[in-house]
Amino acid sequence: MLGFRRAFAALLPLPRAGSPQAAAMSTLLISQERYAWLRELGLQEENPGVYNGRWGGRGQVVTTYCPANNEPIASVRQGNLEDYEETVKKAKEAWKVWADIPAPKRGEIVRQIGDALRQKIKVLGSLVSLEMGKIFVEGVGEVQEYVDVCDYAVGLSRMIGGPILPSERRGHALIEQWNPVGLVGVITAFNFPVAVYGWNSAIAMICGNTCLWKGAPTTSLISVAVTKIISKVLEDNKLPGAICSLVCGGADIGTAMARDERMDLLSFTGSTKVGKQVALMVQERFGRSLLELGGNNAIIVFEDADLNLVIPSALFAAVGTAGQRCTTARRLFLHESVHDEVVAKLAKAYAQVRIGDPWDSDTLYGPLHTKEAVKMFLDAVEQAKQQGGSVVCGGKVINRPGNYVEPTIVTGLPHNAPIVHTETFAPILYVLKFKEEEEVFAWNNEVKQGLSSSIFTKDLGRIFRWLGPKGSDCGIVNVNIPTSGAEIGGAFGGEKHTGGGRESGSDSWKLYMRRST
């Protein structure tokens, strides 16, 4: 492996001192002493973005940037369609080896991956902060979630299987047999560049599948760093590296994955718009897809709610990760009797949010991921004003380097305003007033997405109505806690335009297998 890395480096022309290439490399963050820790993850100025047992890549070189200052971190040589074709073939060959290994033994490999991630948790969490932009504690927490899923998958590897059913024929039995689907493609988004791959790969692996990962181009360094950790575990166990393959790339690679009949399951996390295109391409070939798309999530606060719970919960749900979680609270329905009080207290809490560099321990709120996201934020605020909304706080770009915007509260809009029904991946909270339980339950459900929802109340009957068939239509239904955040032991996913897929816990493993009776 080391020999190949040296060979790969030898293929790259050495920059001459004083040359434009040398000057460009010197401006990369990875070349600065402060960011020397990036090399602990095996990263360098230019990194191969394809792994299938060997590292390579013949596509264009893409530089990734730090959202906190918009300075270049390092670059990744993406894969092209030729790289993709080679990687699929190697992943299919690797499956023949991997599928023959007993499930508990596969679980042992996943356990080792979890341990390897534990050893790198702080430095990998720092990379998540640097490249994605979320605060350091969230970056570390995301890696911890991958570790936790590995632990969960280890136990699951001894439990997966089907029942033996009574047969109506004398001397016969019905056996429900579960087998791996084969090759699982995983396309992940920028906002959770580690955890979502972990949810998919750890469960897919113990089920006997191989994986091919395409992360977001803007978080390619994270994809490379995670794959380096996994590949070492596979190589140390003398297993084919292509069991967990990587092809960094853009829409051409994603389209190839969606249309490829050799891709036995395609898990896609991203926007509803792109997810719909992916679903149609997969369905056209009668393939399997697992979709985790957008969420226009609501918190409902009734007159009997404990406001000491409401304020920090609404703040965390709306402002955490700068509003870039799929489970971020975007709508806050307040009973008319508590509306003004909650808005005043929430605005005061917003003013106390510590904004700064994501890797500083005191920071609670970091930047948006890209400059384009800042523009979408400003456009959404302007639309909200045009549709009758009033900005209580925020609404502007913060005058500092990077992609920082003010966390924003908007009041005065009707529940069915077009902007309220539009998921904007930014820290904008639309506060809406209601009178009756029946109407607000209907308002919660009237948006096209159905990911997460929450109510705050002490009324036990109302809680069970909320959880029941006429309550929330979302995949995640909370009571007296925020919309954001989820535990790995439960199935994660949503309904309607959120895609209907389920990942992580409960019986989500069945999506990665095929059933025979």
In this predicted model, what pLDDT tens digit does every residue of 399-451 receive, in sequence order?
999 999 999 999 999 999 999 999 999 999 999 999 999 999 999 999 999 99
Question: CB–CB of 152/202 below 8 Å?
Answer: yes
The set of residues, in sequence order, having a beta carbon less than 8 Å from that of 70 and lying 6+ positions away, is: 371, 401, 402, 403
* Structural domains of the chain ordered from first start: 28-293+503-516 (3.40.605.10), 297-487 (3.40.309.10)
User: What is the pLDDT, as a whole number, of residue 19?
Assistant: 42
145 is catalytic: no
In this predicted model, what pLDDT tens digit does every residue of 294-311 receive, in sequence order?
999 999 999 999 999 999
User: Which tokens go with 296?
Assistant: 């226009």
Tell me, what DSSP letter sits at residue 42? Answer: T
* Residues in the chain, pLDDT under 50: 1-20, 22-23
Tell me, what DSSP letter sits at residue 205? Answer: H
Report the alpha-carbon distance of residue 114 to residue 171 in Å, rounded.
45
Report the alpha-carbon distance of residue 118 to residue 83 in Å, rounded.
31
Written as one string, the DSSP assignment of 35-89 is: GGGGGGGT--SEEE-EESSSEE--S-EEEEEETTTTEEEEEEE---HHHHHHHHH
User: What is the pLDDT, as a whole number, of residue 23?
Assistant: 46
> If you search the block for the tokens 């972990």, which residue do you land on?
198
Report the alpha-carbon distance of residue 255 to residue 18 in Å, rounded.
41
Which residue is catalytic, options 131, 138, 292, 503? Answer: 292
CA angle 31, 371, 66 (to 5 degrees): 20
Question: CB–CB of 234/201 below 8 Å?
Answer: no
| CB-count burial class (<10 Å; 0-12, 13-18, 19+) for 261 | exposed
User: What is the pLDDT, as a whole number, of residue 25?
Assistant: 65
Q: Enter the pTM of the model.
A: 0.94
Report the alpha-carbon distance of residue 4 to residue 317 in Å, rounded.
46
CA angle 87, 271, 391 (to 5 degrees): 150
